[in-house]
Amino acid sequence: MSLVCLSNSPYIRPMLTPTALLMLSVGLAACGTQAISGADSSPGSDADPNELNARAAVMPQLDELLTALRGDRDGAMLGQNRHAGWPATVDGGYLFVSTEGLPLVASDHDNWAGAIMTELYAHDGQNLFNPGALFGGWNLDEAAPTGMTIVGIDNDGGQRLAEYSHTDEFGTTSRGDAYAAYVQDTVRPLVRQYYGEPEEVGTIGASLCGLIALHIADRYPGKFDLVASLSGTLGWGSIDGQGTDTIIARDTAAGHRSTAIYLDSGGNGETCADTDSDGTNDDDDTAGDNYCETRQMETTLLVAGYQYNADLWHWYEPGAPHNEAAWAARVFRPLQEFMSL
Ligand SMILES: [Ca+2]
Ligand SMILES: [Ca+2]
């Protein structure tokens, strides 16, 4: 699938086609773990007994959680055609993945005796665990360190652009505040209700999801320990003209706050300039992957008082393209920093 660029430089993801249910079986096989079928996929008579047992162990909680979430997410976002996700285990921990856009409790949490150390809310859930996703997906279940819980929340397909926008752009009316509230006020309390309070909480995303992760952290100061943006669309708000309401501007105005920030990009940078004089640097055809906007964000955070390797990380992966394979290759970096907090 090719990238969709809405102007000469910003990189955002295309509207994602819901992954086919067929991918479910592929994913289960590929996970090679005691995975549990998605809530809307009925186990067949030849299902792995271990899988059925694991499913039975968590289903009461799972049903309750899903029912609660279904009743709370903005009505307009419900009822969309979504694919089924599949939970997958990680060593000593567990993952959430999403089904029909909603988090789904997974794996062997009941057998997990360790403390819940970190909890990471990740967006574009369709692409996080599914090896059949775009460019092979993030393989986030393989990258997740022991003790990290990942809550993957699917995008809404047709509402994706709106939900991941902090401000209006390209004729899209932002629903970013509603999405941020959904994560903070609905999903997080429910996860806490079932699994207790983690020591650290973070949120992560790439491209527009890097933007919405930063927006969530901005909307709820002090509520997240880490926010990670990979190839984030940080010029959003200035792309379609000379708007100035970018996340860069908002974070600049907010100054130094307690949430640690990880930024990265690929691209072929070094030719950054604010070509339309709106205050936001613009990737040109050489830079790419939101390199210039990411460097500008890095600079503004340093000026605000953030410090490298304390509460600010920036990574530049020369030449890396804007896709899931590139993010999969370097997502261990923010996860590592997250675990070090
Ligand atoms: Ca502009
Ligand atoms: Ca500009």
- The predicted model gives 76-84 an average pLDDT of 32
Relative to the alpha carbon of 292, which ligand is closest? 2
pLDDT at 235 over 80: yes
Is 107 within a domain?
Answer: yes
CA dist., res. 236 & res. 242, Å (int): 11
CA of 237 to the centre of ligand 1 (A): 8
Predicted pLDDT at 68: 54
Is 7 within a domain?
Answer: no
CA of 283 to the centre of ligand 2 (A): 9
- pLDDT > 90 fraction of the chain, expressed in percent and rounded: 41
Going by C-alpha positions, the residue among 234, 264, 74 that lies closest to residue 163 is 74
Strand partners, 97: 104
Is 11 within a domain?
Answer: no
Give the pLDDT confidence of 174-207 residue by residue, as tens digits: 989 988 988 898 778 877 776 677 889 999 999 9
CA of 172 to the centre of ligand 1 (A): 16
Give the pLDDT confidence of 277-308 residue by residue, as tens digits: 999 998 877 889 999 999 999 999 999 999 99
CA distances from 100 to 79, 109, 112, 220 (A): 8, 22, 26, 26
Is 12 within a domain?
Answer: no
Relative to the alpha carbon of 273, which ligand is closest? 2
CA of 182 to the centre of ligand 2 (A): 31
Predicted pLDDT at 119: 84
Count of structural domains within the chain: 1
Going by C-alpha positions, the residue among 152, 155, 128 that lies closest to residue 142 is 128
CA of 275 to the centre of ligand 1 (A): 8
Is 10 within a domain?
Answer: no
CA of 301 to the centre of ligand 2 (A): 18
pLDDT at 224 over 90: yes
- The predicted model gives 221-247 an average pLDDT of 96
Is 103 within a domain?
Answer: yes
Is 8 within a domain?
Answer: no
CATH number at residue 145: 3.40.50.1820
Is 4 within a domain?
Answer: no
Give the pLDDT confidence of 122-177 residue by residue, as tens digits: 888 778 877 778 898 898 877 877 667 777 777 777 778 998 999 999 999 998 99
Predicted pLDDT at 194: 64
- pTM across the whole model: 0.75
Give the pLDDT confidence of 313-341 residue by residue, as tens digits: 999 999 999 999 999 999 999 999 998 88
Structural domain for 273, as ranges: 22-340
CA of 181 to the centre of ligand 2 (A): 29
3-state helix/strand/coil string of the chain? CCCECCCCCCCECCCCCCCCCHHHHHHHHHHCCCCCCCCCCCCCCCCCHHHHHHHHHHHHHHHHHHHHHHCCCCHHHCCCCCCCCCCCCECCECEEEEECCEEECCCCHHHCCCCCCEEEEEECHHHCCCCCCHHHCCCHHHHCCCCEEEEEECCCHHHHHHHCCCCCECCECCCHHHHHHHHHHHHHHHHHHHHCCCCEEEEEEECHHHHHHHHHHHHCCCCCCEEEEECCCCCCCCCCCCCCCCHHHHHHHHCCCCCEEEEEECCCCCCCECCCCCCCCECCCCCCCCHHHHHHHHHHHHHHCCCECCCEEEEECCCCCCCHHHHHHHCHHHHHHHHHC
- The predicted model gives 58-63 an average pLDDT of 49
Residue whose pair of structure tokens reads 């604010």 in the numeric block: 274
Relative to the alpha carbon of 281, which ligand is closest? 2
CA of 313 to the centre of ligand 2 (A): 24
Q: Which residues, 6+ apart, have CB-to-CB distance to 162 below 8 Å? A: 172, 173, 174, 175, 176
Relative to the alpha carbon of 237, which ligand is closest? 1
